Every structure is written in C-alpha cells, then in structure tokens.
Amino acid sequence: MTNYSQFKPWSVKKLIPCFILFVCMLNVSGQPSEYATGKLIITFTDIRSDVGQIALALYNQESQWTDNPAKEYAWDKDNMKNGRLTVTIEDLPRTVYAIAVLDDENENLEMEYTLGLPTEGWGMSTNPSFLKLKKPGFDEVFFDLDAPVIRMEIKMNYIRKNKKVKD
C-alpha cells in the first residue's frame, strides 16, 4: 500500500517557481488588448460659430510636430452647444501625444491667413499661451495617454473672436 501523505507533487517549494514563471509569461505576452489602448474624450471650447468643421491632427513623435500627423480627424459641428463640442477618439495606443486643432470654417483643411494672421481658430493640447507669437514646441503640448480614458479641454483661439462668419 502506498502512503500518499508523503507524496506532495505541489509543495510550496514547487509552486513558487511555477507562479513566477506564470507571471513572467504574462509580461512576455503583453497586456490584454483593452489595456494596450485608451480613449480620448476632448471638449473643444470657445468655438465662435457653427460654420464648418473641427479638424484635429494627432502626433505621437516630436519629429512629426506639426507637419506630419500620425492621425487626422474631422467632426462637423452639429452637436455643438454654447461654443462647446465634445468628441471621442477610441482605441488609441497608450503612448505620448500632442494635438493641433483647426476650426476649419471653410472646410478646406488648411489654416487661412490675412496679412500673415490666422483668420480661423486654432487650439492645442495643454492650451499653451500664444503670447510668444510662435508655434509651441512638442515638449510644451504633449500629454501621456496613460489611462484607459483621458478627458481634456482644448480652448479655441481666434485673432477676431467676434468676426462674422459666412454660411
């Protein structure tokens, strides 16, 4: 007759290395997909009119800033209320980003200028000061998408906030 009380195939000494191996395998295989991406909820504020669209360029490297966006988006202003429009971008890889926004009132996806000054609105992540009269660097506007959901507000800026916009 066999004495099973001495037969301990899963002793604590054997379980600890198995547990460590299991944890290491989880790290090698990566995190579950729902943790590898995040959602960005952006509210654009101080939009001056319901004409045109809001265009957004998303950058995930300093070398892209502001000429070569990683992704581009555009939304109509149908859901705008009191100069505010909220949008959602889902399934973004969790990394560092910077955002540049254009209130594209004539829907040509280009900033319009008169005498060198922008005639349409603009904004950027982190809402940097534009008093320096030069484009902020990536290091001034980047943020880390380091959570499942990030909410932010981007204030739209205009040289002439009360300018009458044609329909």
Q: What pLDDT is stored for residue 29 in this prediction?
A: 42
Enter the pTM of the model.
Answer: 0.77
Q: Which of 102, 123, 124 is nearest to 113 (CA)?
A: 102
Q: What pLDDT is stored for residue 20 in this prediction?
A: 56
In a domain, 95, yes or no: yes
Contact 97, 142 (CB under 8 A): yes
Contact 58, 88 (CB under 8 A): no
The pLDDT tens digits for 69-120 are 999 999 999 999 999 999 999 999 999 999 999 999 999 999 999 988 899 9
In a domain, 65, yes or no: yes
User: How many other β-carbons are positioned within 10 Å of the β-carbon of residue 44?
Assistant: 24
We report the CATH number of the domain holding residue 132 as 2.60.40
DSSP β-ladder status, 71-76 and 53-59: antiparallel
The pLDDT tens digits for 9-18 are 555 555 555 4
More confident residue, 5 or 149: 149
Provide the number of structural domains found in the chain. 1
Contact 127, 155 (CB under 8 A): yes
The pLDDT tens digits for 135-157 are 899 999 999 999 999 999 999 99
In a domain, 138, yes or no: yes
57 torsion bin: left (phi>0), alpha (psi -120 to 50), beta (else): beta
In a domain, 26, yes or no: no
In a domain, 8, yes or no: no
- Look up the domain containing 117 and give its range: 33-155
In a domain, 16, yes or no: no
In a domain, 128, yes or no: yes
In a domain, 107, yes or no: yes
